[in-house]
Amino acid sequence: MTQRDDMHLDRRQFSQLMALGGALPGAWAHAKDTALPVPASLSQAALAAKAKGEPLVMLISLPGCVYCELVRRSYLLPARLNDGLQAWQLDVTDKTTPLTGFQGEATTAFSQAKSWKANFTPTVLFLGGQGQELAERLVGIAVPDFYGAFLEQRLATARKALKSQLATIGAT
Contact 126, 133 (CB under 8 A): yes
Average pLDDT of the segment spanning 3-22:
42
Residue 7: per-residue pLDDT: 41
Q: Which helix (H) or strand (E) holds 88?
A: strand 87-91
* pLDDT digit string, tens, across residues 14-67: 444 443 333 344 444 445 667 899 999 999 999 999 999 999 999 999 999 999
Contact 171, 164 (CB under 8 A): no
Q: pLDDT-derived band of residue 69, with 50, 70 and 90 as boundaries?
A: very high
Residue 33: per-residue pLDDT: 67
pTM comes to 0.79
Q: pLDDT-derived band of residue 170, with 50, 70 and 90 as boundaries?
A: low
Which has more confidence, 10 or 157? 157
Q: Domains in the chain, start-ordered, CATH in brackets?
A: 34-171 (3.40.30.10)
Reference 40, options 133, 92, 118, 106; nearest CA is 106
Question: In 10 A of CB 85, how many CB atoms?
Answer: 20
* pLDDT digit string, tens, across residues 99-146: 999 999 999 999 999 999 999 999 999 999 999 999 999 999 988 889
Residue 168: per-residue pLDDT: 74
Residue 122: per-residue pLDDT: 97
* pLDDT digit string, tens, across residues 152-169: 999 999 999 999 887 776
> What's the CA gap between 110 and 90, in Å, rounded?
8
Residue 155: per-residue pLDDT: 96
Residue 169: per-residue pLDDT: 65
